[in-house]
Amino acid sequence: MFDTLFHYPRVLARHCEGPAAKERELYLANYASGGAAHSTLLGLAPELLVIARRIDLDGERSIPFSEIEAAADRWVDCQRRHRRVRLANFSKARFIRTATAWFRFLGRLVELEESPPEFAGLVSEFEHYLRDERGLSRHTIDNRCWHVQVFLRWLGLRGIGLAELQLEQVDTFLALKHTQGWCRVSMATAVKALRSFFRYGGEKGWCVPVLAVGVEGPRLFSQESLPEGQKWEDVRQLIASADTNSPKDIRDRAILLLLAVYGLRSGEVVGLTLDDVDWEHDILHVSRPKQRCKQKYPLAVEVGEAILRYLERVRPRIGSRSLFLTTKAPFRPLAPTSLHHLVSTRLKALNIRCRKHGPHSLRHACATHLVAEGLSLKQIGDHLGHRSPYATRTYAKVDLAGLRQVADFALGDLL
C-alpha cells in the first residue's frame, strides 16, 4: 500500500520501517477500498505514523482511551516546544479521533463507553431495567446509561466502590463537571440519571438507598426562557445560501429545508431512509423516537425538489438505505452531531446573530413562524410531534399579537 502512495525512497522507507507498519498499511487499504481519495490517504498515512510512534502496539494488548488522550497531550506539547509546523492541522482532537478509529478497526480499543471491570454488568442490568420495566424510549435509555458510565469511570479511576460511595463524592463529581463547562440543563440531566441508577442500585444492594434521595442538582424553572430561534427572514437567507451547484450545498439545502419547514430534530433528519419518501403519494414518513411511531407529512414541493436533486446529482450509489450520506469517501450515514456543524458554520458565515446556532434553533424558528401565521398551539404541537400540549405552550410567549390583545383588554367590561 505504501509504495502506491509514496515515490521518494526516503519517505517510503520512513513509512515502511516505522512501527506498526503492517497495521497502518491494513487500515489504509481498508480506507482505500471504501473509496477514499488519493489525497485523503496521503494525509492519513503520516498521521498514523505519528500515532504509532507514540503508542506502543507491540503484542495484542488493548489500548485504553486514557492512553490515547495522554499520547495526544504529549504530541501537542512536543509540537509547541519545538515550534514545528509539520502536520499543523493535525490537532489533539484529530489525533484522538484518528487513533480511536484506527484502534477500533484493529479491535484493540478499550471503548470509552465501557465501564471499569469492577462495575461490569451493572450498566447493562440497569439498561434492561429501564427498557423492560420502565418502558423508556431508546434515546432516554442511552442518555441515562451514558451519564452513569461517565460517573462510574470517574469512580473507578479513584478506586471507589459503589458500596462505600458517599454523597460528598457524588457532589465532587458534579462540581468537577460544572467546572468543565457543563451547563445547568446538562447537570440536571446527569443528576436525574444518577438518581435513577442509585434508586435501582439501592434496591439491588449495590449502594446505600439514601444516595438517590440526597443527590441534588441545579434548579430548572419551567418555561424560564424564550425559544431561541432565528427570525424567519434569516432562515430564508440561510436556505438561499445553499442554493448553488456545489454537491455539499445541494445536500445541505435539502437538510436545511427539512429542519426549517417541518421543524425536525437532528436525529429525525439523519434517521430518514430512502423508503421514507413516498414519491407516488407525495408523503414524507418521519420516525418519532419519543412517540415510537412514524408521522406522515405532505411532501412540500420545494422540499421534494431539493431531495430529488440531491438523489439524482449528489448521493453516492452505495448499499446504505440512509437518505443523507457524507459527500466524501468513505461514504457513511451522517451523525446527528454533524448537523450542528452544518448549521452553525453557515449561520456564522452569514453573520446571523442568535444565541443558539445549532439545528434545534431552526425547529424553534419554525414554531415561532407558525405562531406568527396564526396556527393554534395544538396544530403547532402536532406539526412538531409533541406528545402533549405542555411542550408547546412555551411558544405562547412569542405570540406578541395575542399578548397585546390580553394587555389591551378592558377588565372593567367584565363588571
Q: What are phi and psi of 218, to 5 degrees?
A: -70, 150
281 is catalytic: no
Active-site choice (24, 363, 369, 383): 363
Query: b or e along 337-353 (b: 16 or more beta carbons within 10 Å of the residue's beta carbon)?
Result: ebbeebbbebbeeeebe
Active-site choice (54, 144, 265, 315): 265
118/140 Cα distance (integer angstroms): 25
Please report the sign of the dihedral spanned by the C-alpha atoms of residue 347, residue 351, residue 352, residue 354.
positive
Active-site choice (31, 262, 310, 395): 395
Active-site choice (178, 290, 328, 393): 290
294 is catalytic: no
386 is catalytic: yes
What cell was used for 117?
471491570
Active-site choice (315, 360, 369, 383): 360
CB atoms within 10 A of CB 254: 27
Asked if residues 233 and 372 have their Cβ atoms less than 8 Å apart, the reply is no
Find where cell 396556527 sits.
375
Active-site choice (24, 253, 357, 386): 386
Question: Distance between alpha carbon 98 and the CA centroid of its chain, in Å?
Answer: 18
129 is catalytic: no
**Active-site annotation, residues:** 265, 290, 360, 363, 386, 395
